Chain A
Amino acid sequence: MENFILSGALNQINGRKDSMLEIKDLHAGFEGTEIVKGISLTVNKGEIHAIMGPNGSGKSTLSKILAGHPAYEAMGGTVTFMGKDLLELSPDQRALEGIFLGFQYPVEVPGVNNAEFLRMAYNAKMARQGKEELDPLDFDDILDEKMKLVGMDSKYKDRSLNEGFSGGEKKKNEILQMAVLQPKLAILDETDSGLDIDALRVVANGVNKLINQDNAIILITHYQRLLEYVKPHYVHVLSKGEIVKSGDKSLALDLEAQGYDWLTPVPK
Chain B
Amino acid sequence: MPTTLTDTPSGAESLILDLHGKYLEEARPSEPFKGLNLASVRRFETLKFPHPKHDLFSFVNAKELAWTRFQLQRDSRIGKDIVRDHVYPGCEKSVLVVADGTFRPDLSDLSALPSQVKVSSLREAVADPAIARYLAETIESENDVFAAINGAFFNDGLYLEVEPAALVETPALILYISSGSASHPTMTVPRVLAKVGRHSEVKIVVKYAGAGGNYFVNSTQDFILEENSKVLYTHIQADPFESWSFAKDRVHLNRYSRFHGVNVYSGCKLARRHHEVHLEDSGAELKLDGVSVLTGREQAHNLVRIHHEAPQCASAQHFKNIVNESSRSSFDGSVIVNKGAQLTNSDQLINNLMLSDDAHADSKPNLMIYADDVKCTHGSTVGQLDEEQLFYLNSRGLSQGMAKSLLTRSFAESILGEIQVPAVASGLRGILSKKLEANHA
Contact = CB atoms under 8 A, between A and B. Distances in A.
Contacts of B409: 111
Interface string A168-193: 00000000010001000000000000
Interface string A96-132: 1000110100110111100001001100110010000
B400 A90 contact: yes
Interface in B374-399: 387-389, 391-399
Contacts of A120: 398, 402, 406
Given A112-B410, A120-B406, A95 B392 contact: no
Most buried by B among A70, A109, A117: A109
Nearest to A112: B410
Interface in B152-188: none
B293 to A, nearest CB: 14
Contacts of A29: none
A107 B389 contact: yes
A124 B398 contact: yes
B398 A71 contact: no
A64 B350 CA distance: 34
Nearest to A97: B397
A69 interface: yes
A117 B391 contact: no
Interface residues of B, number: 22
A206 interface: no
Given A117-B406, A124-B402, A109 B397 contact: no
A228 interface: no
Nearest to A116: B406
A160 B406 CA distance: 12
Contact of A69 (B391, B396, B406, B411): B391
Nearest to B416: A111
Contacts of A70: 387, 391
A91 interface: yes
Contacts of A95: 394-397
Contacts of B397: 92, 95-96, 121, 124-125, 128, 181
A30 to B, nearest CB: 12
Given A109-B407, A112-B407, A112-B410, A68 B402 contact: no
B413 interface: yes
A242 B409 CA distance: 42
A74 interface: no
Contacts of B392: 103, 106-107, 109
A131 B396 CA distance: 17
A80 B392 CA distance: 22
Most buried by B among A69, A91, A101: A91
A67 interface: yes
A92 B413 contact: no
Contacts of B389: 107, 109
Contacts of B46: none
B150 to A, nearest CB: 37
B410 A109 contact: yes
A147 B32 CA distance: 68
B414 interface: yes
A121 B398 contact: yes
A67 B396 CA distance: 10
B173 to A, nearest CB: 27
A111 B402 contact: no
Q: Which 6 A-B pairs have the closest CB atoms?
A: A111-B410, A95-B397, A91-B394, A107-B392, A121-B396, A124-B397
16 contacts: A68-B394, A70-B387, A91-B395, A92-B398, A92-B399, A95-B395, A96-B397, A103-B395, A109-B392, A112-B407, A117-B393, A117-B396, A117-B406, A124-B397, A124-B399, A177-B396
Given A92-B400, A109-B410, 8 more contacts: A69-B391, A92-B397, A109-B393, A111-B409, A111-B414, A124-B397, A124-B398, A124-B402
